[in-house]
Amino acid sequence: MPLIRRIPKRGFNNAVFTHRFAPVNLSSLDLFSDGSKVDESSLRQCGLVKGEWEGVKILGGGKLKPKNLVLEVHAASESAKSALEAAGAKITLLKK
């Protein structure tokens, strides 16, 4: 039997160090009124975030109408950041 088949297959697994964020698209943020504060608790009250997550990540899917939202989330994609700034929203990234 070849040596490679006799050696046990063990090693590093990165699954322990991953972060699971709840995804929220830009188009979902139209539920909030102008000047609202958007954080994880407000997203849970609206039903946009369900289950156990380590934080919230804003994704760039869809369009956002111009609103003065104040977002406090854990992560955001680059396209979402640029779209939020163009719509007049202020985003703050929290550290986990």
- Residue extents of the structural domains in the chain: 19-93
pLDDT in tens, 39-67: 999 999 999 999 999 999 999 988 888 88
- Distance CA(65)–CA(22), nearest Å, equals 22
The proportion of the chain whose per-residue pLDDT surpasses 90, expressed as a percent, equals 61
Q: Are 63 and 25 in contact (CB under 8 A)?
A: no
Q: What is the CATH number of domain 19-93?
A: 3.100.10.10
Burial profile 14-31: b = 16 or more Cβ within 10 angstroms, e = fewer: eeeeeeebbbbebebbee
Q: Identify the band that residue 15 occupies on the pLDDT scale cut at 50, 70 and 90.
A: confident
